[in-house]
Amino acid sequence: MSDFFSGGWSVFVAAATVLGLIACVALLIIAARRRVVGTVDDNTTGHVWDEDLRELNNPLPRWWMGLFVITVLFSVAYLFLYPGLGSFGGSLKWSSTGQYEAEEAKARAALTTLYARFTAMDEKQLAADSQAMGIGERLFVNNCAACHGSDARGSKGFPNLTDGDWLWGGSMAEIQKSIAEGRVGAMPPMAEAVGGGENVRNVAHYVLSLAGSPHDSVAAQLGRSKFSACAACHGMDGKGNPALGAPNLTDKVWLHGWGEEAIASIVNGGKTNQMPAHANRLTPEQVKVLAAYVWRFSNGSTKVAANP
């Protein structure tokens, strides 16, 4: 607790806990010794219910007192062994973080034998191994499906992994790197760079023409010269640059929407996409199996044609 507040809070919590235990013991002693002064001499308190039910003035049962004392002693022992008294960590030095890390290490050690035979396999061998792909499928569902979908076809803003279109490269090594280290793709606002105003619309139509999509040919011709501001990342031919994560603008795959309005919006406002790193969640062996599972979508028997 002292990690988040001043040291005084730790002292306050410890003092409140100790005083609470002392108060419990004091209450037990007082209740065991105190006798209610009744109005009659038959060991009752004088309280009567339903005409003949009388409250006796007997001491607390021994078994109840015993359980109460055991509870207090258990509390004292617990607070000595485990965290509970402010910043005191307990003599066992236990923590939920430490237990989680120990259990995670144990689980990873148990998986070492399972993944050992996958170590020397390449992507084609892994893609053909039913056990590896079964494990890869579970890893994908648990770690990737939330964004890319259970069928790996993605959605607006989340890449389709089945169409062979790769922002950062589709080799086994590049996929492993994407999974382990994550990716950040950033396009800055380019409105001023292309001249602003109507030039943004013209560039949007030129981009549409690169992919053979319906466009205004006059606007596209006017936007061609302005596209040079975009060529540093996308190339003069518009085919992109995997080293930068710059998309291929000629393949009719539109990650953030298709059409003049969608393209102009990105030119005006820019766009940043991020895939989180999974190296802290998956072992290198798991990353390799998962990468092979993803690689198979566009290279193996499950290959699906690119979206129109």
CA dihedral sign of residues 213, 217, 221, 226: negative
* Interval 141-193: pLDDT, tens: 999 999 999 999 999 999 999 988 999 999 999 999 999 999 999 999 999 99
Task: Label residues 144-176 b or e (16+ Cβ within 10 Å = b).
Answer: beeebeeebbbeeebbbbbbbbbbbebebebbb
Task: Name the one residue in this structure whose structure tokens are 């410890």.
Answer: 14
- Angle among Cα 117, 119, 123 to the nearest 5 degrees reads 105
Among the listed ranges 103-112, 207-216, 270-279, which one has the minimum average pLDDT value?
A: 103-112
CATH class of the domain at 188-271: mainly alpha
Residues 197, 293 contacting (CB under 8 angstroms): no
Per-residue pLDDT band at 246 (split at 50, 70, 90): very high
Domains of the chain by residue range: 7-81, 104-182+276-299, 188-271
Please provide the distance, in angstroms rounded to a whole number, between the alpha carbons at the two ends of the chain. Answer: 56
137 pLDDT more than 90: yes
pTM of the model: 0.68
pLDDT for res 306: 36
Its CATH architecture, for the domain 104-182+276-299, is Orthogonal Bundle (1.10)
The pLDDT of 22-35, averaged and rounded, is 81
Phi and psi, residue 55, nearest 5° = -85, 115
